[in-house]
Structure 1
Amino acid sequence: MNYAMLFPGQGSQSVGMLGGYTAPVVRQTFEEASDALGWDLAVLVREGPEQELGRTQRTQPALLAADIALWRLWQAQSLPAPSALAGHSLGEYAALVAGGALDFADALRLVERRGQLMQSAVPEGEGGMAAVIGLDDAQVDALCAAYPGEGVLEPANFNSPGQVVVAGHLPAVEWVLANAKAQGARMAVKVPMSVPSHCSLMRDAADALYLALGEVTLRTPSVPVFHNLDARSGREPASIRAALRDQLHRPVRWTQTIETLIAGGVAGFVECGPGKVLCGLGKRIAKGVPALPTDEPDAFDKACAAVTTG
């Protein structure tokens, strides 16, 4: 099967994630991450507490390590290689590691710094995010434009048709929660993140991240990596660096990314990481196209069989 490997981002984490896996490479990857960061990521993932794992600067390296642990296990199976890689938000860093464009240790330290910058950009309690269900992309644009107050309110994640996440100042997000139904939405629910990701409130954080990106080596990926920013695959290190900067303060275009991959001949998707979020989104974007999780060993084995037999 001609397939793309997809890497999930923040929101897929949980204490004990990948606990069903006994393969040494999974444990070794978490231990390697702990050594690179200088704190015990392996224990945090295994034992929590959940509140600490949920801190953005902890969540991001923990999820990156989980994604790469499964990627390494996948590579050890001698399976057909994916024809493309993509990651949702934070998952784009895992995609770049998998494609050989970024070293694992550098990526861990980058996403830890990314989390710190995001958390400091907007003081806790001043920003938020909400998922709007049942409106198309243009209608969500109009909903944000209709906000009568001051402050930022912008589309942040175009996740699938009829599911768009907005981000901004907390009063604006609360206005969406109270008024989305009146604007035609089926529902609006708060996203459990205090950091308003992928909106203009992250512009200063993005500029600071760009400086950090300049201190690491980036290479041309061995497999095309499609960016959240524009659903295009960047090959030059300079363009990858710019895409990672702009990704932080501009929307995740996940619907467009999946549609672009299918238009390019991809016939199925494998979600390489904890949870099944991207499988669910993929089924809504491209009905009938297989989307296979790997969050548990049984699911991993089924995904291996599917890409081998088609």
Structure 2
Amino acid sequence: MTNARLAFVFPGQGSQQIGMLADAAAEFPEIHTTFSEASDVLGYDLWDLCQNGEQADINLTERTQPLLLTASVALYRAWCARGGVHPARMAGHSLGEWSALVCAGTLAFTDAVHLVQERGRLMQKAVPAGEGAMAAVIGLDDTAVESACAEAAEDEVVAAVNYNSPGQVVIAGSSAAVSRAIEACKTAGAKRAMLLPVSAPFHTELMRPAAEKLAAQIESTEFHAPEIPVIHNVHARPESAPAAIKVLMVEQIYSPVRWTECVQAMVADGTGQLVECGPGKVLAGLAKRIDRSLTCHNIDTPDQFNTALLATAE
């Protein structure tokens, strides 16, 4: 059964925490099963890493990406196993778009684990450590942020890369250019502009080499038309043709995440309830800032999971 007002959204990097999903795993066997599948692909124990490792270990991009994909898919499998209604549409923030595609039936989970591990490795290698940076800008409209980046570039790369919600934009690029853009944003009236603990400038032109290297692996992977529409980061629209989806997933690596537009598109299409399918509450918080009419749920603990099951049932 599908709830026409329900959308599922899947988080990206930054939502990982040591000990995440421990309570959920005690109640939902799908968590351990899904993590075991991923571990077989990765060649190491992913569950042990996220429960007993160090935060620095799971913050390594090539580990963060398969970890968050696995966590989201595990929760969605638990949702379906308990009779949770199907959403009418899905979206994922950056890496989370891969989680959405798996849950929508576009590609096999194990194929996605391999691809996002490689995606993380290539994205980290694309720019030497210390040469790239990302920063969050709070309290400045999109146009002003874009103007500040253009002013600060000086033949280097710096651009708005995550349009997260009105008044919250992430910029990225060469370290020196990002530093100049931070000052330009503050001068333009930003409430805050601060570096993020991320070592690579994701979603900029500096990531194009990584995208080009991943393209061949994406092309050789079997994709299907999604069973549930997925709103894509690149243009905030759904796509049904597998070949077109593959192109978008390559472009996504070096293109801005138009998250505000993605949520607005889902609301325009009838979404009134939103479930964040993954650890943390980042996307639920952003959604409420984008459209206060949305009712948002998180499902990363058993209590929240069961509350959302009841609240979304039609």
Shared fold, TM over 0.5: yes
Number of equivalences: 309
Q: 2:16 aligns with which of 5, 10, 13?
A: 13
| Percent identity of paired positions between Structure 1 and Structure 2 | 46
Q: Which moved more, 1:272-281 or 1:135-144?
A: 135-144
Q: How far apart, in 1, do the equivalents of 2:154 and 2:251 lie?
A: 26
Q: 1:243 aligns with which of 242, 248, 257?
A: 248
TM-fit CA distance, 1:150 = 3.5
TM-score, structure 1 as length reference? 0.97
Are residues 1:26 and 2:49 paired? no
TM-score, structure 2 as length reference? 0.96
Runs of 4 or more above 3 Å deviation: none
TM-fit CA distance, 1:148 = 5.6
User: AA paired with 1:65?
Assistant: T
User: AA paired with 2:12?
Assistant: G
Are residues 1:305 and 2:310 paired? yes
Task: Give the match for residue 111 of structure 2.
Answer: 106
Task: Give the match for residue 48 of structure 1.
Answer: 53
Cα-to-partner distance string for 1:156-201 (whole Å, 9 max, x where unaligned): 1000000000000011112233342211111112111101100110
Are residues 1:258 and 2:253 paired? no
* 3-state SS, counterpart of residue 89 of structure 1: coil
Which consecutive unaligned segments of at least 5 residues does structure 2 have?
none
TM-fit CA distance, 1:214 = 1.1
Task: Give the match for residue 238 of structure 2.
Answer: 233
Which consecutive unaligned segments of at least 5 residues does structure 1 have?
none
CA contact (8 A) 2:134 2:170 kept: yes
Are residues 1:57 and 2:62 paired? yes
Q: How far apart, in 1, do the equivalents of 2:153 and 2:99 lie?
A: 39
* 3-state SS, counterpart of residue 228 of structure 2: coil
TM-fit CA distance, 1:47 = 0.8
Q: How far apart, in 2, do the equivalents of 1:73 and 1:176 lie?
A: 43
Are residues 1:172 and 2:177 paired? yes
RMSD: 1.1
Cα-to-partner distance string for 1:247-283 (whole Å, 9 max, x where unaligned): 0001000000000000001111100000000000000
TM-fit CA distance, 1:52 = 1.2
Task: Give the match for residue 214 of structure 2.
Answer: 209
TM-fit CA distance, 1:288 = 2.4
CA contact (8 A) 1:159 1:254 kept: yes
CA contact (8 A) 1:99 1:223 kept: yes
